[in-house]
Each structure stands twice: as structure tokens, then as C-alpha cells.
Structure 1
């Protein structure tokens, strides 16, 4: 049975150009001395508002401590995956498998963008410490819960916080889902979750805001442009679907698993 095509195997010059121009504009605004000063001032004020209550508000501290643990990242990844492969939400049930592999291919492209952008950042001296290593009076969650830092990798500081890798993954997921969304409600859910899951690193101080809304955004826009506005995602997802068909055919024999749209799509 023929499945409806999800991606077009053609170039979209306008979308590709827009993604690249926005990424370049963000970078230029950030490296411009006046812009960099403004971003830093904003980030310092933002960090103070988010971080200082950790010392006095127990509920606030508990919430963001849990959100800063490595196992929570795995939970976030699972939530994003489940929304991605949920049939007849953003993607039609028959398109879910191609959507899944399209996102995997886009993530691979994001890794390439990350590697290249990191080299540029290192060469230009754009790398910097996280706010907890720079600003006096910063609240360190690792000081409150040292056992969590040792056992569960509590993330509240970094000596190389730019660009925000965690944010770039969340943002590329949000862009990818938004690119395929058909209703405003889907768009709102996607971006609300993205912003929520970006918060732990900002509250705990592992990242400045600019690591996310500049560095993470630049990488996500470049990956989106060269994936979804070129033939890349169409060809890569089609090839991966065909390559993994035998595996999914075996999964259809497993009770429970076979009910998932990503498995049952024929």
C-alpha cells in the first residue's frame, strides 16, 4: 500500500536562506560588542531571578534539582520521542516511521553542525564559563546536594557552556515538530515543553541564556535548514525506512509493541 509522502525531495531555497540568514544575524548581533554587552546584562539579571530563590525556596530548589539530574534528561528524551511517534497527532499514523527516521537523520546533521561550530567557537575564543563559575553569590545545587552530583551527575556548572548542546537538541525537536504541525495547539504544546525543559540548566547555572537562545538556536536553525529545506531529510528517511523494514516486521510480532504507530505502519 502506498503511504502518503511526508517530505518533498526538492530544494526550498527560500526556507533554506531564511534559516541561514537568521542564524548569521543572531551570531552577528552576539559578537557585536554592544549586542554582546546587552545580552550579558540581560542574562545576569535573568540568572539572578532564577537562581537566587534556590537558597530560600525549598520547593523551587527541589524542582530544579530533579530537573538538573542526568536521569531527568533521559525522561525528557522519552517524552519527546513519545510525542514524535504518537500517531495522528502531529504526524499521521502511516507517516510516523518516516517522521521518526527523518528526525534521527536531522539529529545526525545537528551533530555535524555542532562539531563544525565548536571548532569555530574555539578558534574565535567565544567559549566561556557558566554563570555559576563567574558570578559571585551564585547558588550551587551541588553544594546543597553533593551526593547527587557524584551519583546522578547533577549539572550546575560548566567550563565550556557555549553553545548549549542540550538546548540545541530541544530546539531542533521543536523546529522539526513545528515544521510539520497543522494546528496552533500542537505548536503551543511543543514550544511550551521545549522552554520548560530548557529551564533546569538556566536555573542551576550550567548555562547562560545566550548559550541557548544564541548558540543553541544557531545550531538548530542550521540543522533545520539543511535538513528540511533540502532533499536530505526526504532521501535519508526513505532510505532508513527501507533499511529497517525487516526489524520492524519482526517487532510487529511482539504484543503491545506492535500497537505503536511507528511499528504498525504498513
Structure 2
């Protein structure tokens, strides 16, 4: 199998792209810890797995905005896994409103969860990867961090920051054998379903198929490739899984 015995942590694993990624990694032979703030839903997802996959999976609750929670969760994951080969940091949130209506609470929530949460979680993973001299980190950006999208300016700023952070890590930790890339998805999720009323015209403009992609069919295979040794010479890149919605270079 492509990810046989790879030791992987996936954040945001309770639903959407995170859940799809957890399942794909397990099916590819990995041992996976799924993390999420939604403890009941996250545990229920792992409990719903077929027996042969569930034997290689564990759920650990985490609040990515709190360093103590992330550090404890990552340590528990590494103990279960016996090390850490891959972090897929899928967890993220969105709020939508005109720019002048964003409150301090909105800004703090989005920046703390998306940008600071990525930084804290990456740091916790790197603390285990760097001594081992190898590892893969996959962070999640957004087309909205590359091109204007209405009513999500703060969210867009957090995603732009994540993409800059990812490039910096790739340069700093490449000599340590650690690859760090950004996935830029345009995929159907509970979050995009909520935003369809506002951004339906954007979603319908996707060149391939005129709609957002499917998490299992379109995103999961790319996540497996990027976690595998097949992508061993790829780092610091934005990998767009978006049907051509925004064409990067």
C-alpha cells in the first residue's frame, strides 16, 4: 500500500475534507490519529470505520487555538503512533460578512483558529519531526487567499498568511528532511455548503465541471500522493485541487 505503516495525524478529522483524508490514509495502509474540537462527532467518525481500518485509528480531542491542548494532543498521538511521519492540518473555520462589519471577536476567532492554530500545530509536529530528520506537513490554504472573494476578507487574510508561513517552513526545514506544502482546495464541505448562497456564482465558475470537487474522488487521492514518498521532491508549493477555479503558478 502507498502509505504502509506511515504514522499520520489529521486535524479537522471529524467531518468534510478531514474525514475524507483520514479514511483515505487508512485505506492506503497508514496508522492515523484524527483530531478535532468536536469530540463526540470525531469519536463517532472513528467508531464508524470498518473494523480493519478502526484497528489503525484513534481519535484525540484538540483545541488548535491553545498551545497546551495542541502539545498534549500531539504527544499523545506520537505515543500511540510510535513517531510522526505526516501532519495533515485540515482544521479551519470561516465567517462571512462585509469587511466593515467584522468585529474584534470575529477577527480574533478567525486569526486564532486558522493562522495561529496552523502555527501552533505545525510547531508541535516539527518538534517531533526535526529530531527524526524526516516528515511531511500539509497545510490548507484557499483560493480566497489568492484572488478577491466577497465578504470573507478576514478569512482570506488568514489563508494568505498560512501560505506564506508554509513557504517559510519549507525553506527552513528542508535541510532537516521535512517537506511542507499548502493544499488549495475547492471541495464540497459542510462549510462550503453554508456559503453556497453567497458564493454560488463563484463555485459554478469552476472550469472542470462547473462546481466544487468531491472530497473522496478529487481531494483524497492528492492527499495520499502528497503524504507518500512519491512526492519526496516537492516542497514549498501550493497544490491547487480546485478544478481550475484559480490558476496558480
* Greater strand share, structure number: 2
Flag the structure with larger Rg: 1
TM-score, length of structure 2 as denominator length: 0.28
TM-score, length of structure 1 as denominator length: 0.27
* Greater helix share, structure number: 1
**Which structure carries more relative contact order (alpha carbon 8 Å, separation 6+)?**
1
